[in-house]
Amino acid sequence: MFNIGSERVILVDANDNEIGTEEKLLAHKLGRLHRAFSVLIFNSQGKLLLQKRAEHKYHCGGLWSNTCCSHPRPGESLKDAAYRRLKEEMGMDCEDCEFKKVFSFKYCVDFANGLTENEIDHVFVGISNKIPIPNRKEVSKFKWVDLDELKTDILANPTHYTPWLGLILESLDKHNI
C-alpha cells in the first residue's frame, strides 16, 4: 500500500525524551508519538518556499506544504536531519545559509487512510535565494509565496494544504517570527 521502506522513527514521550524506535509506517499506523522536523526557507524578499508533495506520498500527497519535513534517523541530530532532507527533497544545500531552530510543538492528526501523525515537530527557519531542484519522487511543484497571502489562502482553501502547515504558521506568529 505504501512504499516507505524500512525507515525507523524515534519514539518520544510528551517531553521529547527518546524512548525507543519504531518502523516508520507502523508508528504512523499505531499513532505513536515520535520526533519530526519541519523546515521553512524564506528568500531575501521574505517569501516562503512551499512544496507540493508528490501524489504518491503515504499521506497528504498532492498537498502544498512547508519547504520540507521529515523525521531524524536514530542517532542523527535534528539539524543534520533537516539539512539532509532539504538536500534530498529540494536539492538545496543550505549549510552556508542562515538556518536555526525556532520552536517545537506537538500535534496529532488522523488521516482518512488510517494513518496518524502524532509528532513533536521541531521547526527550523532558513534564508536562501538558491533555486530549488526538487526530487520528483518527493515533490511535484514548488513556489515562493507571500506569507500573508498564504495565510489567507489556507483559511479559504484548507484542503489544499497539509494540516501541520497552518499550525506552523500560527506558531510563527506567536513567536514573532
- Amino acid 1: pLDDT: 40
CATH architecture of 8-174: Alpha-Beta Complex (3.90)
Select which of 60, 69, 89, 138 is catalytic. 69
Q: For 13-37, give the secondary structure using H, E and C.
A: CCCCCEEEEEEHHHHHHHCCCEEEE
- The helix or strand, by DSSP H or E, that contains position 12, with its residue range, turns out to be strand 8-12
Orientation of helix 147-156 relative to helix 163-174, angle to 10°: 130
- Amino acid 136: pLDDT: 94
- Amino acid 5: pLDDT: 56
Select which of 89, 94, 117, 119 is catalytic. 119
- Amino acid 58: pLDDT: 77
Residue among 45, 36, 48 nearest 132 (CA): 48
Contact 162, 65 (CB under 8 A): yes
69 is catalytic: yes
Q: Torsion over CA of 165, 52, 159 and 145, rounded to 10 degrees?
A: 60
18 is catalytic: no
What is the pLDDT tens value at each position of the chain, 177 positions in all? 444 557 999 999 999 999 999 999 999 999 999 999 999 999 999 999 999 999 888 788 899 999 999 999 999 999 999 999 999 999 998 766 778 999 999 999 999 889 999 999 999 999 999 999 999 999 999 999 999 999 999 999 999 999 999 999 988 877 777
- Amino acid 34: pLDDT: 98
